[in-house]
Structure 1
């Protein structure tokens, strides 16, 4: 993140350990929860555009960044409980605008369905609601066993680069470094537990979509094979108050690949809500 004026570093005590957060900006509170294999730094390119519109609480998810390592298996549902605990610290008896990338989008959708009073609006970026493909699941289990034993070796990092970034970006150091820094900052066993908990064991969340009452914006990249534009639009049709957007030139890590386009879409969505 490049925004330094009036930036506060803090942490929240939760059921999954202390969760680190960077707080900056002005206005109503927005909580930003990143995707897998990265940490809060991955929002860096969007911060300058978002901070004038909201007080941003940019967290490092459980097991990442400066947050406590993940020492046991968990679930998206437990992450939603963590989100609720953080919101209770931030806005007692209030609600926040939730912005989640992939993993963070899954958490936000779950929290919005289970505790609708806590979510004022929801943005989910590249967050497929179905479980992962069975064949890919087997490959990921094998790769995760290597990760747990040897850490983020070069081959695994390159595989993650290819999964998170479109081919034109997978060789660009400014983008791959965001992934590599996140992977090398934390213990390998903690990363492996996050992969098992939040990707390998991810359950189908389609049944929760009709229960999301908050105004919702679903976003996907045009090269997000696990969540195509058609699949995203089908999910949006199940949410009572949802709209959807495809951002070109991005795969999974939209906040890193197309930060300006993502920030513009989020600000437009917030502005629409603020005007109502």
Structure 2
């Protein structure tokens, strides 16, 4: 399969409403699911390199971009069902190479454990498997109430920039615009519902790791405390077939912060997979 003209836009009917996607590239399907506070456009700087090796299905996750707004509390497990529904609608051999950042990595882990026949391989980028710190959780609940009522005001945007980007990148307008544009594209209550569903209520996913049978690559930036290289290595040790990589000069939003380095790691992983 090859998509070489202007990237076609499509929509998938799922249990969380219609999910928008852009499809571009050639070869087997790879499904790209972004992290929190951004949308499918956050993959923009890696698309050209990755599309030479896979047919990319670049989603706007539930509640973001052109996808259906999130109007209720959901869960990572429900997102996994959405992922499996999309993979089934794609056809082909019924499997994809899953690439997810943060939230997208959490969903990919759940799909891999719950719907193993749907996943050819898994790449989870900056996706800590433990729940958030209880003290931070309380602060996040308060901040999310502000977001739900007043939208992404300047103070909240700056807090998000600092969580997603290393200090030097948080001053880079091109990088922060990826976040700000995504936050202002959709209703504030939709974004707030995603925060409650996929961060505040995030449960420990460690128990799923031994059930992931697909070849897996875990990736961390060198400046995300809760997903340090050491924590990532401990998680990888629980997955039967896992590799790890650390990319310097990045925090959470690696496709934006270090696109060339990330794309190189993804392509190399796929090449090793294809050579098996």
Q: TM-score normalised to the size of structure 2?
A: 0.98
* CA displacement at 1:6 relative to structure 2: 3.7
| Cα distance in 2 for residues equivalent to 1:226 and 1:142 | 21
The answer to whether the 8 A contact 1:6-1:25 is kept is no
| Cα distance in 1 for residues equivalent to 2:173 and 2:211 | 41
* CA displacement at 1:226 relative to structure 2: 1.6
Tell me the SS of whatever aligns to 1:168.
helix
What residue is the counterpart of 1:187 in the other structure?
A: 187
What residue is the counterpart of 2:133 in the other structure?
A: 133
What residue is the counterpart of 1:120 in the other structure?
A: 120
What residue is the counterpart of 1:272 in the other structure?
A: 272
Tell me the SS of whatever aligns to 2:99.
strand
The answer to whether the 8 A contact 2:19-2:66 is kept is yes
Tell me the SS of whatever aligns to 1:50.
helix
What residue is the counterpart of 1:259 in the other structure?
A: 259
1:213-252 equivalence runs, <5 A: 213-252=213-252
* CA displacement at 1:92 relative to structure 2: 5.8
1:12 aligned onto 2:12: yes
Tell me the SS of whatever aligns to 1:94.
coil
1:65 aligned onto 2:69: no
Count of matched residue pairs? 274
| Cα distance in 1 for residues equivalent to 2:176 and 2:152 | 13
| Cα distance in 2 for residues equivalent to 1:188 and 1:37 | 11
Tell me the SS of whatever aligns to 2:57.
strand
| Cα distance in 1 for residues equivalent to 2:180 and 2:149 | 17
Q: Which runs of 4+ in 1 moved over 6 A?
A: none
| Cα distance in 1 for residues equivalent to 2:4 and 2:172 | 25
The answer to whether the 8 A contact 2:209-2:239 is kept is yes
Please give the per-residue CA displacement for 1:62-90, whole angstroms capped at 9, x wherever unaligned.
00000000011000000000000000001
1:65-144 equivalence runs, <5 A: 65-91=65-91, 94-144=94-144
1:208 aligned onto 2:208: yes
* CA displacement at 1:4 relative to structure 2: 8.0
Which one is further off, 6-15 or 91-100? 91-100
| Cα distance in 2 for residues equivalent to 1:208 and 1:92 | 27
1:43-62 equivalence runs, <5 A: 43-62=43-62
| Cα distance in 1 for residues equivalent to 2:43 and 2:14 | 22
1:26 aligned onto 2:26: yes
* CA displacement at 1:189 relative to structure 2: 0.3
CA RMSD of aligned residues (A): 1.1
What residue is the counterpart of 1:168 in the other structure?
A: 168
* CA displacement at 1:94 relative to structure 2: 1.4
Please give the per-residue CA displacement for 1:142-187, whole angstroms capped at 9, x wherever unaligned.
0000000000001100000000000010010000000000000000
Please give the per-residue CA displacement for 1:190-209, whole angstroms capped at 9, x wherever unaligned.
00000000000000000000
Runs of 5+ in structure 1 lacking a partner? none
| Cα distance in 2 for residues equivalent to 1:137 and 1:73 | 16
Tell me the SS of whatever aligns to 2:21.
strand
| Cα distance in 2 for residues equivalent to 1:132 and 1:65 | 25
